[in-house]
Amino acid sequence: MDTRIMPRSEAMRRLGFTFTGSGREYFGIWIVNLLLSIVTVGIYTAWAKVRRLRYFYGNTWLDGHNFEYHAQPTRILIGRIIVVGALVAYNLLITLSPFFAALIIPYLLALPWLVNKSLAFNARMTSYRNVRFGFRGTYWGAFGVFVAMPFAALMTGGLLAPVASHFSNNYLGRHTSYGTARFATDAPIGALYGNFGATILFTIAAAALCGGAGFVIGGGIASFNTIGITGADRDLAAMLEAAPVFATVVGAYLALFLAYLFYAAGVRNIAFNATTLDGGHRLASSVGRLRYTWILVSNFFATIFTIGLLRPWAAVRTWRYLAASTAFDAAGPMDAFVDDAAPEGNVAAAEFFDIEGIDFGL
């Protein structure tokens, strides 16, 4: 599937996003955030999040203006305390009795509300040219795209994943606003299935490579087995003999993770290229699926091998690439947008998904 940016009208101005931050500069912010978070037993993480996002947003530019992040650390801290307290209470209840595992049902029923409030908060805390973004979702709309469709995709072995991507991205786009102007997204299902097919081929290749490498590495480990299968070290010997199988399975799971990154990059291109603002302006994305996957994987290993010290460099590298791969086709002046009093959302809902590591891509 071709993920290049679609042709645009000659009347439009192609405006590219740029990121002016640097790994060296962000390292200073990151290390201070880390040390203060440790010293304060996690309390400073709320201030750390605000400093981090203000740095990345403030260094992201479009048409000579940067973005801004407006959330207050004290509100984020309160939201995190509520979320952590709820999660601790839930886990304690499950420990006391498996009966409380049934609480997953009210959680799923509350999930659409949490999603909408989280998206509304994150959008409202973001501005460009002193105009804030907004999000107005509906309960049943969120239930359909974030509960029902993922379940349907799971039950069909992933065959409905492109359909789920279609509805989720359309939902996010159509309920997001910039001031009084509304976004609209209509991601084509055909293109999403094309991306899905390419992902399957990528998965097969990645599984063969990762699984094969795992088998070779596991075989090398097993070759050091000189213990035999009897005696006190019998369990260790059995583990060494099983190393090829274990390493192959690990390689297969790694291939699935790489496939997810590959698929997500393709979906981003399709959804962005199918998004308009106020009926005339258009978003555009040209993320290379293989390159994006390589960036995230190499970032991971660079972070691991440096015991986390290259984490700031990795974060800047990813953000810069995504910014450089995104554009905005302006059909008119960018200073014509008017701010709007959109719902502010709920900080606790936003922090819940932040703590759980869930990103809806807004």
Q: Following DSSP, what letter does each residue of 26-61 receive, concatenated? A: HHHHHHHHHHHHHHTTTTTHHHHHHHHHHHHHHTEE
Q: Give me the average pLDDT of each 10-residue run along the chain (362 residues).
A: 46 90 95 95 92 96 94 87 78 73 77 88 92 93 94 93 96 94 95 96 86 61 53 54 62 86 96 93 96 95 94 96 96 77 59 52 46
Task: Measure the CA–CA gap between 77 and 96, rounded to whole angstroms.
Answer: 28
Residues in the chain: 362
Q: Which residue carries 């699984």 as its tokens?
A: 211
Task: Measure the CA–CA gap between 51 and 21, rounded to whole angstroms.
Answer: 13
Q: Which two tokens stand for residue 89?
A: 């209470």
Task: Measure the CA–CA gap between 247 and 232, rounded to whole angstroms.
Answer: 25
Determine contact, residues 53/79, Cβ cutoff 8 Å.
Answer: no
Amino acid at 104: I
Q: Which residue carries 């991601």 as its tokens?
A: 187
Strand pairing report for 176-178 and 60-62: unpaired
Task: Measure the CA–CA gap between 263 and 211, rounded to whole angstroms.
Answer: 20
Residues 6+ apart with CB under 8 A from 203: 255, 256, 258, 259, 262
Q: Which two tokens stand for residue 61?
A: 């530019």
Dihedral (CA of 34, 351, 283, 133) sign: negative
15's enclosing H/E stretch is strand 13-19
What DSSP character marks residue 231?
S
Determine contact, residues 121/349, Cβ cutoff 8 Å.
Answer: yes
| CA distance readout (Å), 144 to 53, 160, 170, 175 | 30, 14, 12, 14
Q: Which residues pair with 67 in a beta bridge?
A: 128
